[in-house]
Structure formats: C-alpha cells, structure tokens
Structure 1
Amino acid sequence: MDNQSQSVLENNRRVLKNTMLLYIRMLFVMGVSLFTVRIVLKYLGVTDYGIYSVVGGVVMMMAFLSNSMSSATQRFFSFDLGRRDYESLRKTFSTSLFIYILFSLIVLLIAETGGIWFLKNRLTLPADRLDAAIWTFQFSILSFIVSIITIPYNALIVAREKMSTFAYFSVFEVIAKLVIAYVLSISVYDRLIVYSFLMFLITSIVFLLFRYFCVRQFSESHIIYVYDKGLLKKLIGFTGWNLFGSIAGVFNNQGANIILNIFFGPAVNGARALSFQLSNSLNQFVTNFMLATRPQITKYYAKGEMSNMMNLVFTSSKFSFFLLMIFGIPILLETNIILQLWLNEVPAFVEIFTKLTIFIALVDSLSYSLMTAAQATGNIKSYQAIVGTLLLLSLPISYVFFELHYPPYAVMIITLCVSIIALFARLFMLKGMISLDILKYLKDVVLRILLVFALSYFSIYFLSSYLGDGLLRVILVSFVSALLSISFIYFFGLNKKEKTFLKTTVNTLIQKYQFNK
C-alpha cells in the first residue's frame, strides 16, 4: 500500500473513531434532552412553552446559526492546518474573534430596537404574559451573543479534531439543562423568566469552558492584535456570505414560527417546537458524523487531493442519510405511540409536524457534505446567494397559503419542497465549483438511498401490521427496523470500496480487541 493510500485509510479510521465517540456522547445527550423537554413542558405549560419557542426562539435559532457559522470559521482553521501554516492559523483565529464580537454588537443593537418593537406590536401573546415575554427576549439575546463569541473556540476544537473534549462539554451542558428542569419544579418565581435566565447562565459557563480549554491547549487561541487587510477582507467576505446563507436558514425556521404565531397563536408554536425537539435529537446523528468528516473534506481540498475529497463527499452524503434513516423510520411508523409515551398528552398537530420534520431532515442530510465542499473552496458568494434565496422563498409562499386558510402543517410541506429544490441547486452549483459529477452523484448516492429507504420502510410497515400496540410494539419495530435497514444498507447502499473499508475496519477492531484481551 502506497503512502497516499495509507494516509487515506488512516484519515478514514480517524473519522470513524471520532464519529463513534460523538455517538456515545449523542445517545446520552439525546436521552437526557428528551426527558428534560418533558419536564420543562410540564412545568411551563404548552402556552408558555410556545411563547418561549417564538419569543425566545433566538436561542433555538442560535444552535443552527452557531453551528453554521462555526463550520465556516472551522473551514479556515482546517485549511491552515491542512497546509501546516500555524502562523496564518494564529492570525485567522484572532481576526475571526474580532469579527464575531463586532457582529454580536450589531445583533444587540437591532434586537434592542426593532426586536422589542416587533415583540410588543406584532406577535400574538396573552396580555398577562407580555412582561415575561420581554424578559425572555432579553435573556435570549444575551445567550445568543455569548454563543456567537464562543464560535471561534468551538471551531478550533473541531478543526483540531479534539472530539472527546467537544463531547465532554456537550454532556456537561445537557446535565445542566436537566438541573434547570428540577429548578423549575421547585421555583416560586415566574418559571418562564427563571428558565430563560438559567439558559443564559449555562451558555455563559459553556463559553468559559471552551475558552479555558483552548487557551491551555492551543497557542493560536491566544488573542493577538493583527491588522491584515487582505485576511480581514477575505474572512468578512466569506463569513458575510456564509452568514447570509445561515440567516436564510434561520429565517426559514424562525420566520415560519412567527407566521404560525400570527395566524394560529402560541399553542401551535408549542406543537411545532415539540416536533422539532424530536427531529433535532435525530439530527444529532448527522451532525456528529459531519463534525468528524468536515475537517477532512477541507484538508483534502487544501492539499489538492480532489479525488479523495469527492469520494468523502459522496460517502458522507449517503452515510448521513442512512444514519438518520435507521432511527427515523421507526418514529415515522410509530409516531403516535412514541409521542404518547414521551409527552403523555399530545398537543394538536404535533404528530403531523413530527413526521414532516423527519422527512425534511432526511432531505437536508444529503446536503451537509455538499455545503462543506462548497465552503472548502472559499468562493461561496454565488452559492450562498442562490441557495439562500431559495430557502427564503418558503416564507412568502407559506403566508399566501395561510391567507387561503390552509392548515398549519402546510408550512412544513412547503419547506420540504424547497429543501428538495435547494438540494439540486447545490449539485448544479458544485458542478462549476469543484467539477462535481451530477449523474454520478444521482446514481451512486440518490438512487441507492431511495432504494434502501423504500425497501426498509415498506418491509417494516408490512411486518408492523402484525404487531400489537404499546411500548413492546415500539421496541420490536425499532429492533427489526435497525436489522433490516443495516442489511439493506450493506447490500444495496454501499459500493465495493465502502464495503471493503467497512470489512477492513471491523477486522482491525476485532484483532485489536483480541490482542488487548
């Protein structure tokens, strides 16, 4: 085996190791998070939970926006690391931090003027909860600002592929949120305000942990004064256009929440927020996988290894979909039972919202590696302008449909259609950016995942018709679904190279275990 092949194999094994580590963390985080949501919903009530989802929705959009902006920043860090240019990395870190501090100040100015006005004059809120909503908004904005400043530290840890540290901090955060749920149960003050304040407190502590670790471990995280006009222009241009794409995604999400509030009130916001809690937990499977693969895609591009990069992009698209599908199919088939077990009393529209959000997540899972490939080039102006504009179209279309008296879940169907269109737009954009072979992608990725999904879904649907109801049914369906899905993935979803790599990795792990034993 030549040096390049050996390097690719080692990189793939590192990706697999980091992915497994992140999944162990994710399973714990997901379980605790879902339990925490149940407790928070119980003590806040569906109306206050809905108010938090729309007024404090800046916290929810913060997760999406921060992850997206972090991936953009991490692109530059990974690029410098791929070239082993540590002096450039140091300059890039300090310049990025300055840009995010400036951005957070702009957000604060806009929020304290236009945001407060919109909250008081345009949202549908119970009159007796207006003061609590304003406090919630203030703490949410502070949480958002702290999260923005955390981005360079978060991105540096991912670029350095220190996934164990990333996992530990995430576990701390979710345990802290579980403590919040307990505090709500004993609080004698306004629970919505208490909840918002404690969420801000956790965000601040997580920032301090990230910064402390980076300063201790990575010399490039020591802040220096640097004025490099070329670097500043490049970072602002890239970050600005990436921010446009991120904001388009946020507006697509949070804007839909506001439109739903205007037409249907906070109870529907609460139902949608609950469905997103479940789908977001599933999305962690894809997010963790992409956290492990994203640095490698960028480093391959930085080193000019385009063939290896393209192979990883294709494989990442497939595996992202498959990982989500394995857990998504049982939820699609047993949505009502799962929601009853989780929430006891299921609010209206939660079931249909949940199913549609899972389908949207499945479509979007194919796009994550394509986004990373586009960002790796550093030339994203046209890409973000086209894709971002497409995502924003769902808002005016949804507004028109609600004016025509369509039901609340129409916004989710529109979002699903826009996501499919955006996927194909990304493919055509990448054809010009990195010479991506669209026909090969459709054949090797799209056709394979459609075949595997159809075989898995309808096989399990047929078998589930012979089972009873309740928890035992959910367990059996989940178990059988996992077995059948993994089998179909192996025989119909993977190509020869992927099967060979999988066999080699499994054999290596078995031999390592036997040796240690």
Structure 2
Amino acid sequence: MDKQIKMGAALSYLNIVSKNIVNFMYTPFLLRYVGQVDYGLFQMTNSVILSLGLLSMGFSSAYVKYYMVYHVQHDEESIRKLNGIYALLFIGISFVSLIIGAMLVFNTGHIFGAQLTSGQVMLMRNLMMIMVLNVALTFISTIFDSNITVNEQFVFQQSRQLMQTFLVPVVCVPLILFGMGVLAIVITQIAVTIFFLLLNISYCLRKLKMRFKFTDMPVGLLKGLLSFSFFIFLNQVVDLVNNNVPNFILGILKGADLVATFAIAIQIKNMFYMLSTSLSGMFIPKVNRLVSLNRSTTELTDLMIRVGRIQMSVLFFVLGGFIVVGQYFIHLWAGGCESGGVWAYYFDGTTVNCAAISEYRN
C-alpha cells in the first residue's frame, strides 16, 4: 500500500499542476467566449447548488472509519452490511437533493429576480436544473468513491481525476465554439459525471469485489454513523459559508458581474487549498487503520509531522511566488477590461474592477 500512497501522491500533485494549467487557459476562454455576465450566472448557480453537498453530512468520512474497524477484524459480513447501509443512505440523499433542487429551480426568479433580467433568470433556471441532476448522481457515486479511497486505490483514483481534468475542457470548448454558451459547461459536467460513475461502479464490483447486503442491517451502526459524522458536518457548514455564501449574497445584491470577479479570487484560493489537502488525503485510510489497531499516539504524531513538513514546504514556495508576481499573474490570467477580463491593471501597481468601471461609465 505504501507504493499506492507514493504513486498516488505523485499523481495528485501532477493533477493539481494540470488543473492549474487548464484553469489558466480555460477561465480566460470562458470569460471571452461566454461573457462575464453569463460566467457570473454560472458561478452564482454553482454556489447555490454546492450547498446541497451538506446533505452528505460527512458520511463518507465515517465510512472509512467503520470500514477499517471491520477490516481489521476480518469481518466481511459487517462490511457488506455497511455497504448496504451506505447504498440506501446515499440513494435517499440523492432523492432528497432532487426534491430540494426542484424547489430551488421553481423559485429562481423569486431569489435572484431583483438583479437579473428575465432572460438571465431563465438561463439560470436551466443551469440549476442540470446541476441538480449532476449533484444527485454525484451522491450515488460517493458510495463507490469511498470504497476506492478506503482500499487505498490512489493510482486509479488520481488517474481518473487527471483524466477528468482534461476531459471537461476538451468536450466543453467545442460546444461553446458551436454556440451553446454557458450551458455547454453544465452539460459537459453531467456527461462526465455519468461516465465516471459507471467507471467507478465497474471498478468497485470487478476489481475490489465490493458486495452489498440489505438484510439484518444493525440499527446501532446507523446511530454510530450519525454521531461520528456530526462534527464533520459542522466543518462542512463552515466551509460552505466561507466558500459559497459570498457568491450567493453578491448575486442577490449586486448581480452577475461582481460574482464573476469574485469567482476569480476564489479559484486562486482553491488552487492553494488543493495543495494543502492533496497529500494528507492519502493518509486518511492509514490513520484510521492505525487507530483501529490501537497504535501509540507517538506513531500517529510522527506520521502527521512528516506529512506536515512536506505540505508546508510546497505551500510556502507557492505563497512566496504569488506574493512576488501575484498582480502580474492576475492581469495575465484574467485579462484587462479591454480583453474581456475582470480587472484593469496599471503600471503604478493599482487595479480597478472592470464592473466598477462599467458602472461608472453608465
């Protein structure tokens, strides 16, 4: 399994570099060919729909914990029951997300209508409809994603994500050039989600021999899952507030232009965040296994120190680079107002928001 971790970590950082390169080219393309307003509508809708992710309530993390407990005990029967509980649980969550999503779709005009035109409201409603279906499918895929993670199949997991990094723009860009606009983004996303859902199912059932049992499932296990997941759920709520609520508030009060500008800053933050979590995520199954085996806290502490040193080395290197050339990078990446970007950049080091310039001119 150590080989899986090493290869997975290498592929994880390769995936991050690839995502950043793709975003470096993909975001300016979207701003130019989709337009700042439509791109802002996409980001507003995405922020709202991502809130449905709270329905998972941290159950995927709890799966790793309980799977490792049964795996150490060589209790295959309990593992099949655990898989059965998770299958029913996430299918139920998927159904609930469709109901809540339908309510959001039908009330789009009431939520955002004050700052949007009727055409923008209709576009946002169509975006939201497809995104809701995508989220519902993602919940079902979570069952199999968790099983891949707990079996430490990081090479497959990261290879799949690397493929997804390139597949989305490769499919989306021609659709946009053919005139489908911002709808091409969400159509591509749901098509890719379906493809990788089928791939995950096939890999888990054939390669990992994942099996389910839907009878004699212990009720006490579900109580334990809820108890363990509660604090993870609180962390997800905090992340949601920090990452998505600002887009939601900007969309309601100021419209789509400023959302597009804010989304650029959020993408920079997310790139940095991925660097901090990619390596530590590889060790989640190992940490749970060590805890299940009642290993000493010293062994766990030493593991965290080793991982933390590597993470901080990478993070400080990237942070230092952004401090030095950050302004020039934003201007080169997002573009100036005259090129369809979201910032105007001046040689004295000042920057002006394009939406503010447009509002001033009007």
Smaller-chain TM-score range? 0.7 to 0.9
Q: Deviations over 1:141-170 (max 9, x none)?
A: 111111111112111111111111012211
* Aligned mate of 1:19, from 2, 9, 27: 9
Output the amino acid matched with 1:161: E
- Please give the alpha-carbon distance, in whole angstroms, between the structure 2 residues aligned to 1:62 and 1:28: 27
Give the secondary-structure state (helix, strand or coil) at the position aligned to 1:122: helix
The aligned residue for residue 278 of structure 2 is 288
Superposed, 1:442-481 pairs within 5 Å as none
- Please give the alpha-carbon distance, in whole angstroms, between the structure 2 residues aligned to 1:279 and 1:100: 30
Q: Mind listing any 5+ residue stretches in structure 1 that lack a counterpart?
A: 1-9, 351-406, 408-517
- Please give the alpha-carbon distance, in whole angstroms, between the structure 2 residues aligned to 1:134 and 1:325: 41
The aligned residue for residue 347 of structure 1 is 342
Output the amino acid matched with 1:276: I
The aligned residue for residue 203 of structure 1 is 193
- Please give the alpha-carbon distance, in whole angstroms, between the structure 2 residues aligned to 1:63 and 1:34: 26
Superposed, 1:172-191 pairs within 5 Å as 172-189=163-180, 191=181
The 1:287/1:156 distance shift into structure 2, 3 A limit, reads same
- Please give the alpha-carbon distance, in whole angstroms, between the structure 2 residues aligned to 1:272 and 1:81: 45
The aligned residue for residue 56 of structure 1 is 46
* Aligned mate of 1:165, from 150, 156, 168: 156
TM-score (structure 1 length as normaliser): 0.60
Give the secondary-structure state (helix, strand or coil) at the position aligned to 2:212: coil
- Please give the alpha-carbon distance, in whole angstroms, between the structure 1 residues aligned to 2:87 and 2:229: 12
Output the amino acid matched with 1:205: F
Superposed, 1:14-413 pairs within 5 Å as 15-58=5-48, 70-113=60-103, 115-116=104-105, 118-123=107-112, 124-189=115-180, 191-219=181-209, 221-226=210-215, 227-239=217-229, 241-305=231-295, 306-345=297-336, 346-348=341-343
C-alpha deviation, 1:68, in angstroms: 5.7
Q: Deviations over 1:190-244 (max 9, x none)?
A: x12232222111111111111111111122x233313221222222343455334
TM-score (structure 2 length as normaliser): 0.83
Give the secondary-structure state (helix, strand or coil) at the position aligned to 1:56: helix
Whether contact under 8 Å (1:33, 1:178) holds in the other structure is: no
Query: Pairwise CA RMSD of aligned residues?
Result: 2.8
Whether contact under 8 Å (1:36, 1:177) holds in the other structure is: no
The 1:18/1:56 distance shift into structure 2, 3 A limit, reads closer
C-alpha deviation, 1:335, in angstroms: 1.4
More helix by share: 1
Output the amino acid matched with 1:331: F
Q: Deviations over 1:303-353 (max 9, x none)?
A: 111221233234434443332222122113211111222222241499xxx
Whether contact under 8 Å (1:82, 1:303) holds in the other structure is: yes
Output the amino acid matched with 1:343: A
Give the secondary-structure state (helix, strand or coil) at the position aligned to 2:285: helix
- Please give the alpha-carbon distance, in whole angstroms, between the structure 2 residues aligned to 1:295 and 1:68: 15
- Please give the alpha-carbon distance, in whole angstroms, between the structure 1 residues aligned to 2:344 and 2:288: 41
Whether contact under 8 Å (1:78, 1:160) holds in the other structure is: no
The 1:86/1:42 distance shift into structure 2, 3 A limit, reads farther
The 1:155/1:83 distance shift into structure 2, 3 A limit, reads same
Give the secondary-structure state (helix, strand or coil) at the position aligned to 1:133: helix
The 1:177/1:90 distance shift into structure 2, 3 A limit, reads same
The 1:150/1:320 distance shift into structure 2, 3 A limit, reads same
Output the amino acid matched with 1:340: H
- Please give the alpha-carbon distance, in whole angstroms, between the structure 2 residues aligned to 1:302 and 1:179: 43
- Please give the alpha-carbon distance, in whole angstroms, between the structure 1 residues aligned to 2:54 and 2:34: 24
The 1:39/1:73 distance shift into structure 2, 3 A limit, reads farther
- Please give the alpha-carbon distance, in whole angstroms, between the structure 2 residues aligned to 1:64 and 1:199: 20
- Please give the alpha-carbon distance, in whole angstroms, between the structure 2 residues aligned to 1:251 and 1:69: 20
Instruction: Name the structure, 1 or 2, with higher relative contact order (CA <8 Å, separation 6+).
Output: 2
Give the secondary-structure state (helix, strand or coil) at the position aligned to 2:294: coil
- Please give the alpha-carbon distance, in whole angstroms, between the structure 1 residues aligned to 2:343 and 2:252: 17
Whether contact under 8 Å (1:51, 1:125) holds in the other structure is: no
The 1:222/1:206 distance shift into structure 2, 3 A limit, reads same
Q: Mind listing any 5+ residue stretches in structure 2 that lack a counterpart?
A: 346-355, 357-362
Whether contact under 8 Å (1:52, 1:133) holds in the other structure is: yes
- Please give the alpha-carbon distance, in whole angstroms, between the structure 1 residues aligned to 2:344 and 2:128: 26
The 1:67/1:215 distance shift into structure 2, 3 A limit, reads farther
C-alpha deviation, 1:14, in angstroms: 6.1
- Please give the alpha-carbon distance, in whole angstroms, between the structure 1 residues aligned to 2:273 and 2:146: 19
